[in-house]
Amino acid sequence: MPILEIESLSIHFRIGPLWNRILLRAVDDVSLGVEEGESLGLVGESGSGKTTLGRAIMGLIPPVAGRIRFRGWEVRALSDRALRSFRREVQMVFQNPFESLNPRMTILAALEEALALQGVKGRRARRERVGELLAHVGLLPAHAARYPHEFSGGQRQRIGIARALAVQPRLLILDEPVSSLDVSVQGQILDLLKKLRQEMGLTYLFIAHDLAVVRSVCERVAVLYLGRLMEVGPAAEVFRQPAHPYTEALLRAVPDLDSSEPPHAVVKGEAPSVRAIPNGCPFHPRCPRARFRCAHERPGWERVAPGRWSACHFAGEVFDCAGASPVIRG
């Protein structure tokens, strides 16, 4: 059984003035499972619904439909006591490490607060545990006396990871954890995440728009577009041979550092607003393979290979023709 199950989840918002409210479908009928111990990448352009989905799993945003199950428990039906246990086992690392840390609290105070919520009693025990947590993420115990502004972006992200680990979670939701960091620092944080996962048996839901990053840390990948899942499958296979035109377009847009040629422009136009998602397949106005059916009928899931699924009317055709797709290096 997956450690996390998302079933037919929809998250909608009403925006605009009271006399002219517009329905915004941020996440629409998403079903997804995360196996215990795996790292699943959730990718897509900005505005695709990735972060909204992650926050809904944490209980920070209420869905309008669907279910979220953690270890078989229906999250929305948990008692207050069970919900506190859930929030210890599922933690989130946010994109901006500076905004996620209280600038008025030392690192010691921030981590001690998390440990106190976990039930670690005694100031001495908490301080020893803070030192262990900082060592886990490659920092020194002496760093605990400092404030967030005294650290670099990479160091602040290490502290954010340490705070998430303080309550001994089983699942980490990593929301663009390296996108605000320099490339050289990104590699260090990714190496740290790989090491921690191996040492602590963690499960990751890794939210990102950088395909090379996802390729380096995830076994499986799920592709979102305008709040809908387009494709799910093993990361290496999806990147080698995509089964949805949107995934194909994302791959072709990645620059090849070994070539002087610019990225292939295979998608026309800009992504439509989530305020007015097209009928049928949401990608059809930009899809080079679109046909009449795509504009009028929403595609269901098609299995194209073991463990491979695509929400495309012509998934088999795309899959068969994708052998020449570029390989993401990472």
Same domain, 37 and 177: yes
**Do 302 and 273 share a domain, yes or no?**
yes
User: How many domains, in total, are found in the chain?
Assistant: 2
Give the residue from 188, 212, 236 where a domain finishes: 212
Q: Are residues 182 and 226 in the same domain?
A: no
- Residues 177, 66 share a domain: yes
Judgement on whether residues 177 and 230 belong to the same structural domain of the protein? no
Q: How much is the pLDDT for 171? A: 97
Per-residue pLDDT reduced to its tens digit, 5-58: 999 999 999 887 877 888 888 999 999 999 999 999 999 988 899 999 999 999
pLDDT value for 78: 87
Closest CA to 285 of 299, 274, 271, 275: 271
27 and 49 in contact (C-beta within 8 Å)?
yes
pTM of the model: 0.89
Q: Could you give the count of Cα atoms lying within 13 Å of 83 in the half-sphere of its Cβ?
A: 11
138-148, pLDDT tens digit by residue?
999 899 999 99
Judge if 170 and 231 occupy the same domain.
no
Distance CA(104)–CA(218), nearest Å, equals 35
231 vs 310: CA distance, rounded Å: 4
Q: Are residues 75 and 121 in the same domain?
A: yes
Regarding whether 116 and 100 lie in a shared domain, the answer is yes
Please identify, among 212, 244, 264, the residue that sits at the C-terminal boundary of a domain: 212
Shared domain for 156 and 197, answered yes or no, is yes
CA dihedral (263, 266, 272, 276) in degrees, to 10, reads -150
Say yes or no: 156 and 234 in one domain: no
CATH number at residue 109: 3.40.50.300
Looking at the fold, whether 277 and 166 belong to one and the same domain comes out as no
Distance CA 143, CA 261 (A): 46
Backbone torsions φ then ψ of 295, nearest 5 degrees: -80, -15
Q: What is the extent of the structural domain holding 228?
A: 219-330
Last residue of a domain, which of 192, 212, 232? 212
Phi/psi class of residue 21: alpha, beta or left (left: φ > 0; alpha: ψ in -120 to 50)?
beta
| CA 15 – CA 28 distance, rounded (Å) | 17
Q: Which amino acid is at 237?
A: E
Determine the Cα–Cα distance for residues 253 and 137; give it in Å rounded to an integer. 33
Whether 202 and 119 share a structural domain:
yes
Among 122, 150, 156, smallest CA distance to 138 is for 156
| Alpha carbons 220 and 204: distance in angstroms, whole number | 11
Spatial CA neighbour of 250 closest among 220, 281, 224: 224
Positions in the chain short of pLDDT 50: 257-260, 262-265, 324-330
Q: Residue 265, class by beta-carbon neighbours within 10 Å (0-12 exposed, 13-18 middle, 19+ buried)?
A: exposed
CB 47 within 8 A of CB 271: yes
CB atoms within 10 A of CB 64: 13
Greatest distance between any 2 Cα atoms in the chain: 68
Give which of 33, 40, 31 is closest to 2, Cα–Cα: 33
List the structure tokens of 257.
């550092």
